Structure 1
Amino acid sequence: MTETPDPAAAAGAEDAQFSRALNELLAEFFAAERERVSQISQDAPRLVDSIERLTSGGKRLRARLSYWGWRAAGGETLAPAMVRAAASLELFQSAALIHDDILDRSDTRRGQPSVHRDFERVHTQQGWRDDAAHFGISAAVLTGDMSLSFAEQLFAQASTLLPRDYERAGRAIFDTMRTEVMVGQYLDVHAEVAPTPEDPEEQLTRAMAVLRYKSAKYSVEHPVRIGAALAGADEDFLAHCSAFALPVGEAFQLRDDVLGVFGNPETTGKPAGDDIREGKRTALVALCAKGGSAEDIEWLDSTLGRSDLTEDEIQRARTLMETSGALGHTEGLIGELVTTADHQLATLPTNEVARAGLRALADAAVRRSR
């Protein structure tokens, strides 16, 4: 009697194979681009090195989600076109992180100096002229732009290996994703400086818009839909993908917001309470306004965005988020979103291996400590 393969085990093995193929392609790509820019100047490879270093440190969540969206829609196992398309998402992610760290004035990323701080360090060590911080930001902006260019380059290469209609459908989602992320980034920095709405519900609506367009759709929904579209999925299937993936993306970002305040720096790679120092107007902060006293909320509003906060002040903000019910409410929202996503995934018309692959990544996105 033939033993029925375990879908989760089969998905895990295939996911590992895909990750190896993705890493090999990225290594080859970076080697080629490093050689190309070295023909221009021996100073230029530092740009490529910075992107490669940042790209190598991630969990490949978006790339892997796009691959399992592809497989869920019937795409071929480890197809070269999909590996290239997934690699383009990794490079888009790197660009977004580089620019995000500049906007947030973040010193670290994944436990290492952020790209602009690393360029600033190089300037200082070399004893170059003028302002080191300005050089760091300038070089990082250009590095992020280069990573965006690389992302476009790889997606275009993938497109040549696919039927025209499939490529066009995937490209439309890819283009929408890029625009939405930029708008989401702007809404994020706008919320940090614009007057805070007095109505707590309006605060939450604004925070959820940032969450959805800066992160949730781009981190989960769009990657799954891009992969499925490139495999030829119809509109009904793509809508079902969204019904599963958007709740996962929102839960993913809500978990990130919690970790930005309560996470362990040794596992998150960011200083404790970094979101408070950066002035992030997250859903967690908005929910404080619904349960905190006027005095506490006024204090929190004056505290957000101060880079000189003491550990005691960070702890006071954490305590307020707990006693106001904001943390409990956020955990409840995450639970509701996960339940919705689980139901939608269970009814997604696909094979059990692809379903297991998507389930594993959804679990990793929302049940994490970093």
Structure 2
Amino acid sequence: MSAPAAVPRLTPVAETTAARDWLAATHAAVDRALHAFLDAKRLSGEPGAGGPAAPVDALRAFLGGPGKRVRPLFCRIGWRAVSDGPPDPRLADIGVGLELLHGHALVHDDVVDRSALRRGRPTVHRACAAQRGGDAWYGISAAVLLGDLAALWADECFQRLHEPGVPAAARTQLGLMRQELLTGQLLDLAEPSEPFGTVEEAFAVIDAKTVAYTVRGPLLIGAAMAGADRAGTDALAGYARSLGEAFQLQDDLEDVTAADTGGEDLREGKRTAVVALAAEAGTAAQRATMARLLGRPGLTDAELAELRAVLTATGAVARVRAMVLERRRAALDTAARGPFTGTGRALLTAMTDRALPGVADWEENAA
């Protein structure tokens, strides 16, 4: 594994630039470590139908493609937030494990959701099906097994947490994170209490899936490895809730507002906070349009545009934008006031806007 990237020295004048440089350097280090791991794991075999290389290469392409790498970044920030000491070199392996666990979750999530695309690219089960002439059952079966393989590889990396000198709290945080991820996925499958779900139900899924395993779990694993005390752990958990909720709400918004996305969540009929708020505030006619189009098989681009227009007209988009801004401010406040190292405060602040691209501009435009 590559050694953790060196942290540029942070000064009061240049702390923002230095923190951004640290994030960029660490992102690059995570990419190198992940690609080295995947290259070492490539199975032998001739490409083609029935050979093991083709589906494993599909998994490698999925895992090794462009990514934000937020979980490994948060893990290392968790360490830096509570310690000025040299980072534990095992953080590199833990970061690769977090990316592999994320890949496992996405591969299985796409099967559960019957998703054709993930950020504009074919999902693993679709890519595998194409390797067998469109055999959908083979694609699903291969994706389930490949998702399990990614989880197995993640466990291999997480063995570093069992080595001498690693606090037991780090292993506890990993177990909690994985449990909450699975709980959130089950909640996502639950029958909503209302036709379009409720805001409370949407946030239950967000808190279990996105908050727990995107922000809080990685942060607290890194902090636990550094020997964090209760005050530091609680402050990081508060930061994680604010930022994690904002992160997912912005993602939900992009599915409704971004012209360059496929509207996958709307095509799948996901009961997000945007959808629940639109149903709450919408007229009978608007709700009828939602009922007709949300999750409709074969939704055309014109119908998708109609559905997006209705969701926006209800005021739901504006309300969710306000929620994102409120949570961004709370995350920044916690980063500034929490019992963190100076380096940690700078990195948490920089990571807030890295995780929420463009949201800082909303503040300026609203001013």
TM-score range, shorter-chain basis? 0.7 to 0.9
Q: TM-score, normalised by structure 1?
A: 0.86
Structure 1 position 349, deviation (Å): 1.9
Does 2:98 align with 1:89? yes
Distance 1:174 1:105 in 2: 28
Q: Aligned residue for 2:194? A: 197
**RCO higher in structure (CA 8 A, sep ≥6):** 1
Distance 2:25 2:135 in 1: 42
* CA 188–4 in structure 1, closer or farther in 2 if over 3 Å, else same: closer
Please give the residue correspondences for 1:61-140 in structure 2 after superposition, counting only pairs within 5 Å. Answer: 61-74=70-83, 76-77=85-86, 79-124=88-133, 132-140=135-143
Please give the residue correspondences for 1:138-287 in structure 2 after superposition, counting only pairs within 5 Å. Answer: 138-160=141-163, 163-164=165-166, 166=167, 168-190=168-190, 194=191, 196-197=193-194, 203-265=198-260, 270-271=261-262, 273-287=263-277
* CA 281–43 in structure 1, closer or farther in 2 if over 3 Å, else same: same
Q: Aligned residue for 1:323? A: 313
Structure 1 position 297, deviation (Å): 1.4
Structure 1 position 247, deviation (Å): 0.6
8 A contact 1:18–1:83 mirrored in 2: no
Structure 1 position 183, deviation (Å): 1.5
Distance 1:335 1:295 in 2: 30
Of the structure 1 ranges 104-113 and 255-264, higher mean CA displacement relative to structure 2 is found in: 104-113
Structure 1 position 359, deviation (Å): 1.6
Unpaired segments ≥5 residues, structure 2: 1-10, 360-367
Distance 1:77 1:260 in 2: 41
Q: Aligned residue for 1:352? A: 342
Structure 1 position 48, deviation (Å): 3.8
Structure 1 position 77, deviation (Å): 4.3
8 A contact 1:11–1:354 mirrored in 2: no
Deviations 1:169-225 (A, max 9, x none): 1111111111111111121122xxx25427x9x711111111211222211122111
Structure 1 position 133, deviation (Å): 0.5
* CA 249–4 in structure 1, closer or farther in 2 if over 3 Å, else same: closer
8 A contact 1:101–1:114 mirrored in 2: yes
Q: CA RMSD in A?
A: 2.4
Q: TM-score, normalised by structure 2?
A: 0.87
Distance 2:161 2:358 in 1: 32
Deviations 1:285-318 (A, max 9, x none): 0101221112321331342211222233222222
Structure 1 position 18, deviation (Å): 2.5
Structure 1 position 15, deviation (Å): 2.7
Q: Percent identity?
A: 34
User: What secondary structure does 2:132 align onto?
Assistant: helix
User: What secondary structure does 1:38 align onto?
Assistant: coil
Distance 1:330 1:145 in 2: 35
8 A contact 2:45–2:51 mirrored in 1: no
Q: Aligned residue for 1:127? A: none
Distance 2:193 2:355 in 1: 30
Q: Aligned residue for 1:17? A: 25
* CA 339–133 in structure 1, closer or farther in 2 if over 3 Å, else same: same
Structure 1 position 368, deviation (Å): 4.4
Q: Aligned residue for 1:30? A: 38
8 A contact 1:258–1:327 mirrored in 2: yes
How many residue pairs align between the two structures? 346
8 A contact 1:211–1:250 mirrored in 2: yes
Distance 2:31 2:302 in 1: 43
Unpaired segments ≥5 residues, structure 1: 125-130
Structure 1 position 58, deviation (Å): 0.8
Deviations 1:37-86 (A, max 9, x none): 43899933444433332222211111111111111121644532111111
* CA 326–4 in structure 1, closer or farther in 2 if over 3 Å, else same: closer
8 A contact 1:207–1:281 mirrored in 2: yes
* CA 263–197 in structure 1, closer or farther in 2 if over 3 Å, else same: same
Distance 1:112 1:312 in 2: 21
Letter paired with 1:186: L
Which of structure 1's runs of 4+ aligned residues deviate more than 4 A? Answer: 39-42, 75-78
Distance 2:344 2:192 in 1: 46
User: What secondary structure does 1:223 align onto?
Assistant: helix
